Structure 1
Amino acid sequence: MTTLWIFIALFVLVSLVLIWFPHFRQQKMLQAEEAGVRKQTNLELFNNRLATLEKELEDELLDQVEFDSLKKELEISLLQDMKQGEDESLVNQVKPKGLLWPVLMSAVVLSLSGYLYSDLGAYANLDKAVPDNPHAGMDASQIMAQRIEMMEAQLKAEPDNSQLLFSLGHTYISANRYDDAVKAFDKAMELVGTHAELLGPKATALYYKANQRMTPQVQAIVDQALALDPEDPSTLLLVGMDAFFNASYDKSIVAWQTILDSNRNDVDRSAIMNAIESAKMRMQAETGEMPNDATHQQALTSKTVTVDVSIAPELLEQVSGSDMLFIFARNTEGPKVPLAATKVSAKSLPMTITLDDSTGMGGDIKLSDAKNVEIIAVLSKHGSVKAQSGDLQGRLDTIEVGSTGTLVLDTQVQ
């Protein structure tokens, strides 16, 4: 059977080349021109559709997750259309004069090949061809359901794959299956521990489940995530988005700018910059004035506490590169509740740390509402904010909000 296939294929190939090569050579320039027009048309359609999606995102008809998903599908569609256009450009040509002879000879060759195979081969047992596009005839929801089904099947085979759980959780959010998304992120945290990059998406799922409302449950998770990582992109995106929807454009700009200032490589910087510009435009539309960056920065600075943190020279030998520095601010008046907190690696010391409402602990009490605060720093060797034996500790008894101070880690906990 294999020998017969090879013989028929070679016979058809050589015959058709000899018949059609002169004809195709005459059409070379025409094909190139038609292919160029087709590609240009596909690109124009792609740009028009992309502009429509961006307009829908700007008008809040789409959220960022839906926009990214539709944009990706649009890019895939463009690639398929370009490939299809190249294939069709070889078929849908203007028929020149003199087609009768090559068509007649091709028919003779194909008929002879068909006779050879039907008489000597096994045409009736030939399996049906598999479609090139596995998603042919499917809409976006069906494609999403198929993707989830494949990921769930893979998860059954790899139940301890935390990265797969992370990806599946995001896919569940895209499919509006928020309870399943929360379960996926919780399972991932059972495997790898509680991290801000998992808490942020979990809070996002609960936020959408609550019809885009920052419920106490969502706020608690957001606060927990920012306490672990004040620059976590997924959490700050949610904070900024909620502020934007509630017309708190100043807060949304601060949250999104924090992401840009963190210099993370895993974020779409252009999309965030566009979101910031959109927030500024909304502020201008409501107040009649475009936010002044210098004035805005001055207002933010007046509500922050900046601390230069260093280690006493006699304790430098006690510091390991794996140690973590926890630093938090508490109001000098009223309950001793942390108003803002952050953590950094001991490798970064000495350094300057800024605490503000973006590093807040949540609730109604904020750093910006306080007049004076005390700053406590713990260099932990155990990964815990509570000082233990061997840890280093330092304290700044009082500092006015909006000013700068110096804190030295000069005490070893016994």
Structure 2
Amino acid sequence: MTDFWLYSALLILAGMLVIVWPMWKLRSRSKADRTALNVALYEERVAELANQLAAGEVSAEQHDSALEEAGKLLLEDTARAEDQRQPLHRGRAWPLLLSAGALPLVVIALYLSWGNPAGVQLAREMANNPVPEDLDGYIDRMERITEIQPENGEAWYMLGRAYLSDQRPQESADAFSASLQRLGERPEVLAQLAQARFFANGNKLDTDSVAALDRALELNPHEPTALGLLGIAAFESGEYAGAINYWERLLAGMPPGSEGARAIQGGIERARQRVQEAGATANGVEAPAAQQLQINVRVELADELAAEFGDDAVVFVSARDPQGPPMPLLAQRLGKGELPTEVVLDASDALMPGVQLQQGQALQLSARISTSSDVMQASHAAEAIDITVSEEQEQPTVLRIDRAL
């Protein structure tokens, strides 16, 4: 900031010179013009007297007397002008000097009031050090940004995430609330706000947090934080089918084989185990047969398409009600490298809590392949096949992915 204030001082000095110098020159010119005028009048009078003497209009004594009188008048006018000028000069110089002296004070006061010195300092710091060295430095920077730009919703959002990483959930929730007020209802902000409240409340979801998560999923059904948090809450409350539903949807949007995907898959397996334990026996009585129904599916990829997709391509196998909405009832996610393979669809693959397979139920099976983790971006699919759920399925239903969407 030293160079900034130095340049500012030079600009203020230049402004003072712009004001003082023209006025000072004007006063000097005024003094010179008054003296020149008196001399010019005297010379004109001398020339007039010489002409009158030559024309015989005045005698030599009259000429000398008038010339002497003109000289006295010149001296008197000059002295009178000097007497009038000096007090005037002293009286007007002080306001001029005071104004020039007050100029830098006024400029500095206005800049401190209307300017943004802290913003200048922060901008220079960010230019010299774009990435803070540690989390504490990052938090300090984001706090300063929110002080300088309190209406910057993105800065509040980043500050909330930093607080959450620093295990300060309550401050994180406050920051996300400030971001939500400025950015409006954005799914990622709603989900992060609910997560911060979840941790601040001893790993429990309150009513406001649940409402925020529901709204986040309304805006973005694939919002990962909301799906993961609702899955945790469902698992903790014993709603294992609901946990599987949320985590399956979350897993569908994660890179295959990633550390996060493996963790979610482990959670799904634990939830399925809890479902099987709860359904296998209830006080020593076997579960109803309807809960044991399943669908065997063989998924294949046409040879001519295999080369078009890398090993990270994702395959989605699903079953839906042909007379109902397009959303699947059951779904599984596979990797392209697993094909051809046989999979089993049952109640543990339900996308919504409470979905069970029923004897004689009509379903439509389909399979799609996508280069990304988004099923909506799938480029090829198998021809949909209508089936009827039965306890005795002799052969698996074959879904061959061979046509473009």
Report the TM-score, using the length of structure 1 for normalisation: 0.38
Larger radius of gyration: 2
Report the TM-score, using the length of structure 2 for normalisation: 0.39
